[in-house]
Chains A and B, each alone.
Chain A
Amino acid sequence: MKKLTVLLIAALLAVGFVGAAETSSGSLVVNGSVTGYTLLSVTDSPILVTFNGTGAAGTPDRTANLNLKANRTAWTVTFDSANDGLLVSPTAGVEATSKIPYKVQATLIPAVGFTFTGTNQLSSAVQLTEPKKIEATSAGRTPKAGINYTLTVSAIDQADADILWQADTAYTDTITISVTQG
C-alpha cells in the first residue's frame, strides 16, 4: 500500500513539471507619449492709463500678469501691438499728434525650480513698434503652475513742442500675446 502511494505522487509531479516546462516567457512594453503643451493666460486686463492733460506722463491703474505653462525646452512668446505701440482714438484724428506712444515691460517673477535661459526683448520698457519676443532656448519647461511675468505699462512726458493729447475721447490699444513651441 505504501509503495502504491509513492508512485502515484511521483507520477503527478512528473506531469506537473512537464507542464511547467512548456510555458513561454513574454514582456510587456509600456511607452509614454507627452503631447507638447502650452497655455497662456492674462489677468488684470485692461490696464487704464490716466493722463492729467498737461502732457505729463500717464499713470497706469495696475500691472497685468502673464502666466505661461509649457512642457517644451524651447518656446517663444511674442507680443504684437495692434497699433504699433500707440494708444489711438477713433475720434481724435489719424495724425501722429493724436496718438499716444506707450511702452510695456515684462518682468519674470522668480519661480522655484525654474531658471530662465534665453532672451527677453521686453526686459526693459519698449514700445511695440514691431513684435517683441521672449525666447526660451533651453530648460524652458515650467512648473506645473506655470511661470509668471509682470506686465508694466508706461507712458512718458510729452516734449514742450508736442501738441497736447486731446481730452474727452477714449484711447485704446490691444497687445496680442502668443506662444509657439520649439
Chain B
Amino acid sequence: MKKVLFLMFVCSLVAVPLAASQGSVQLIINGNITPYSSISMPEPSTFWILDEDDNLIPSKHVGDPLVIANWRAWKVKVDSLYKLDMEQGRLKLDGSEVYIPYRFALYDGAEVIASRFNDPSVSLPRTAVAGRPLSLYFYFSDDDTRWPAGIYRDTLVFSLIAD
C-alpha cells in the first residue's frame, strides 16, 4: 500500500512542471506608411523670349519640377492661368491684353509624359526619397509678329494624382 502511494506522488510531481513549460512565443511588428506627395519648382523661371534678331526663341527649358510621392503610382496634371485651350498656353504682357502663345512638354527623362493642359500624364511609380525630377519645356512659333517690350507672365499649376 505504501509503495502505491509513493508512486502516485512521484507521478504528480512530474506531470505539473511539464504542463507549465512553454518553448516559444511570438512578437508581431506591424508597419504603417502615411501617404505623402509633393511637387516643387525651386523658383520662378525668368528668361528672354526674343533672340538677338527679335525673333521668338524656338524652345526654352523652363525648369525641373521635383516630384516626391510614395503612392504605388501617380500622374501629374498641368494647368495654365492664361491658356487658350488644352494645347496652347499664353504669356500675358503685364498691364496689357497682349499674349504670346506657346506649347509645353513635360519630360520624364527623354519621354514626354504630358503636353496638354489638364490632361493627366502617363502613370509613374513611387519616387526615390530625394524625388524624381521632371523637365518642363516651352515651345514657341515665330510668326513675324513684333511683340511689345515688357514682361510676359503665365502661372502654371501642377497637381499630383494617385493612380
Contact = CB atoms under 8 A, between A and B. Distances in A.
A178 interface: yes
Nearest to A85: B29
Given A35-B18, A51-B32, A54-B36, A167 B70 contact: yes
Contacts of A169: 33
A88 to B, nearest CB: 9
A176 B24 contact: yes
Nearest to B28: A46
5 contacts: A48-B32, A54-B129, A66-B27, A171-B30, A176-B25
Interface band, chain B:
20 to 34
B24 A164 contact: no
A46 B32 CA distance: 13
B29 A164 contact: no
A108 B26 CA distance: 18
A-B CB proximity, top 6 nearest? A53-B36, A171-B31, A55-B129, A178-B24, A46-B28, A35-B17
B23 to A, nearest CB: 5
A182 to B, nearest CB: 14
Nearest to B72: A166
Interface stretch (A4-12, A36-44, A109-117, A137-145): A36-44
Contact of A164 (B28, B31, B32, B126): B126
Interface in B1-47: 10, 13-14, 17-18, 20-36
A29 B135 CA distance: 92
Interface of B: 10, 13-14, 17-18, 20-36, 68-72, 125-130
Contacts of B23: 38, 40, 178-180
B31 A172 contact: yes
Contacts of A37: 17, 20-21
B35 A167 contact: yes
Q: Give chain B's interface secondary structure class.
A: mixed
A158 interface: yes
Contacts of B18: 35
Nearest to A56: B129
A125 to B, nearest CB: 13
Contacts of B31: 48-51, 58, 87, 100, 102, 155, 170-172
A22 interface: no
B20 A39 contact: yes
A158 B36 contact: no
Given A160-B130, A168-B35, A172-B31, A53 B26 contact: no
A33 interface: yes
B70 A166 contact: yes
Contact of B27 (A36, A155, A174): A174
A164 B68 contact: yes
Interface in A151-166: 151, 153, 155, 158-166
A74 interface: no
Contact of B29 (A160, A163, A175, A180): A175
B75 to A, nearest CB: 16
A64 B30 CA distance: 13
